[in-house]
Structure formats: structure tokens, C-alpha cells
Structure 1
Amino acid sequence: MPTYDYECGACGHEMELFQGINDPVKKKCPECGKLKLKRLFGSGAAIVFKGSGFYQTDYRSEGYKKAAKADKKSTESKSESKSGDSKSKPSGKSKSGD
């Protein structure tokens, strides 16, 4: 649940209130009792990164990268050998119309 900042328009009292998003906005000031309490717009919550660094867990390990690179090379060499066999070799004749 978020924390909201409130300020009274009559007496200037400021307070923070921990309430749910769907809870109704408070209107009565706890100090003066008038219905001049307004919810303020806050800057929002800050992002806190804990641990040794978030980037270290977002990327693959070096071992994984090396294995993926080797796998990619082996699949490329297999596809090149298959495509090289299926190509027809040109005959030595020219089509110049002699």
C-alpha cells in the first residue's frame, strides 16, 4: 500500500497517511477538524537496487556465450556443406551463339 501526503488548506497541517489505492481520499483535518484536507501529488517511490549489481544477473554467463557461439558455428558449417552439394556446376560451354 502506498503512502500519501496530505495538507490542510485551513491550518496548513501536513501529514503522511499509509492507505490503499482504492481507499477514499481523507477530507477532515485531524488538527483543526475542518474539511479542507487535500491529497498532494508526490514524486513517487524511488528505485532501490540491492546486491552487487542488477546487471550481473541480467546477462548470460561467459560459458553460455561460448557454447552458443560454438553451436552457431557448427550449424552454419552444416548448412554450408548441404547448400554446396546441391548447387549445379556450370558447364564449360558458352552461350555466345557461335
Structure 2
Amino acid sequence: MPTYHYRCKNCSYDFTEQQSFTDDPITVCPKCGEEQVHKVYAAPSIEFKGHGFYRTDGASSKK
């Protein structure tokens, strides 16, 4: 199950929740009770290492 990061706009409370893809997003803050919660999106942490990820890796030089 994916883990989602949420932040309350009212009190700045940060929290994470494990939810199914079919679950509705959380909208009510568990700390202050206001309906000011939104998902926080971040870039995925992917790091490409090894052969085959660059144009010069394993390329034959036909001239």
C-alpha cells in the first residue's frame, strides 16, 4: 500500500498515512480538526547507476 504525505494549511501539521489507491484523500486535519489538509508531492528518488544509462555507454563508434 502506498504511503502519502499530508500537510495542514491551518496548523502546518505534517503526517503520513498508508492508503489504498481507491481510498479518498484525507481532508480533515487529525490535530486541529480543520478541513485544510492537502497532499504534499515530492520528486521520486531514482538514481541511475551502471552501464546503459548514458549515450556513450557501450555505443559503437562507426565513423
TM-score past 0.5 threshold: yes
Change (3 A) 1:16 1:7: same
How many equivalent pairs are there? 47
Larger relative contact order, structure 1 or 2 (CA cutoff 8 Å, min sep 6): 2
Q: How does 1:5-84 map to 2 (within 5 A)?
A: 5-44=5-44
Backbone CA RMSD of aligned residues: 1.6
Q: Hey, which of these two has a bigger chunk of helix by percent?
A: 1
When Rg is computed on C-alpha atoms for both structures, the one with the higher figure is 1
Residues 29 and 37 in structure 1, CA contact (< 8 A), matched pair in contact too = yes
Distance 1:42 1:22 in 2: 20
- Contiguous gaps of at least 5 residues in structure 2: 48-63
The ranges of structure 1 where at least 4 consecutive aligned residues each deviate by more than 4 angstroms after the TM superposition are none
Amino acid at match of 1:43: A
Q: Percent identity over the alignment?
A: 28
TM-score, normalising length from structure 1?
0.44
Q: Hey, which of these two has a bigger chunk of strand by percent?
A: 2
Tell me how far 1:45 sits from its aligned partner: 6.0
